[in-house]
Amino acid sequence: MKYLYLLLLASSVESGFWEDFYRILASENAKKNLIYSPISAEIIMSMVYMAAGGKTFEELRNVLKFSENKTLVANNYRSLLNDLKRREKAIILHLAIRIYVNKKYCLVPEFNEVARKAFKAKAKSIRLDDPVSASAIVNSWILNRTRGIIRKIVSPKDLDPDTSAFLVNAIYFKGQWLYKFQADQTHVADFHVSANEIIPVKMMTLSASLLSADIDDIDAKVIELPYWNSTLSMRIILPNSVDGLRKLEEKVGFIDHQLEKKTVNVKLPKFKIECSAQLKGTFENLGIRDVFKPSADLNGLVLESGAKIEKIVQKAFLKIDEKGGEASAATGILTRRKKSIDNLRLPPMEFIADHPFFYVIHDNKVIYFQGHIVQPQW
């Protein structure tokens, strides 16, 4: 059986914007492991859009390709998040999103009503005359929302009394593989960071019937690792050459291909990754600038003029081991793989992730995480 899949799925915003957004992040972090959440960044900018007026509103609408009807935008996100909560019983996925506004500004009461209903989030006033205390408040909230995994998202040096508003977003994820890697088969193996550098990693092993493809157009192999009792899966795109990741990430958003279900022998390194990103510069590079200026129109958020967004900070954490992609320990579920006639006819694919690769955690509507691994760490 064959399935048609886009290798890089679009979320609700125009897909080209987020493809370009990722390419900038990937280029800036070419020599570092990377994890980033498009949906988390998209939701927080959508909240800003709900508060924007005038030139700020027009710029956000034009760049992000939002509907001019704010009610329609809010309803779309409410449906998306409610649907996710309704569908996902085995997966734990929490978005921690908040707009912090300097106490010297008065929040528009109606804004939080919209933010709570549509985005499961809100704006909150905070005193910034004491940056140490303010950063402790923000970090405590993030720690609680991510169940103790993400401990620090801002530091006192990120804040000062003149800051108007800043956005923070973190995402917590825990899932279990449908086909579990056997822990007793995990072994030390070489990982080629580059043609000249090799490091030891803990290499996991699995043989299972997976959606997969060997794609000449991008000179890479693709597999889809599904999560148990979930619509989410992890797609891993492995360039055929050790130094092929950069070239792959430049083209991957434009490629679609049929993924075919067949037996795949997988070798995948265990890894943990925690990444903090300042996203303001990336948004500015792609044409969103007015919201960061003193002339920004955010009268839907605060009653006074002069408020602007100072920072957008995102932090994400992911752990990939024999049980699944998770942010804390979870009990594995034993499953038995079914054989099919199609699988018996096809020779198994060898998928050996012993050099840098690109990954996406997604369902059929949304990308929750994407990034690359250039040097697995455990």
Which pLDDT does position 80 carry in this prediction? 85
* Residue 92 neighbours by CB distance under 10 Å: 15
Where helices occur in the chain by DSSP H, the ranges are 15-28, 38-51, 54-64, 70-87, 109-119, 131-145, 245-251, 280-285, 341-345
- pTM exceeds 0.95 for this model: no
Domain assignments of the chain as residue spans, ordered by start: 15-175+272-318, 183-270+332-373
Is the pLDDT confidence value at 73 over 70?
yes
The stretch 317-335 carries a mean pLDDT of 57
pLDDT category of residue 252 using cuts at 50, 70 and 90: low
Cα 357 from Cα 25, distance rounded (Å):
15
Q: 226-235, 242-251, 265-274, 338-347: which has the minimum mean pLDDT?
A: 338-347
Class (C level, CATH) for 183-270+332-373? mainly beta
Is the pLDDT confidence value at 2 over 90?
no
The stretch 75-97 carries a mean pLDDT of 80
Which pLDDT does position 89 carry in this prediction? 67
Number of residues in the chain:
378
pLDDT digits (tens, 9 = 90+) for 184-235: 999 999 999 999 999 999 999 999 999 999 999 899 999 999 999 888 999 9
pLDDT digits (tens, 9 = 90+) for 171-185: 878 889 999 999 999
Class (C level, CATH) for 15-175+272-318? alpha beta
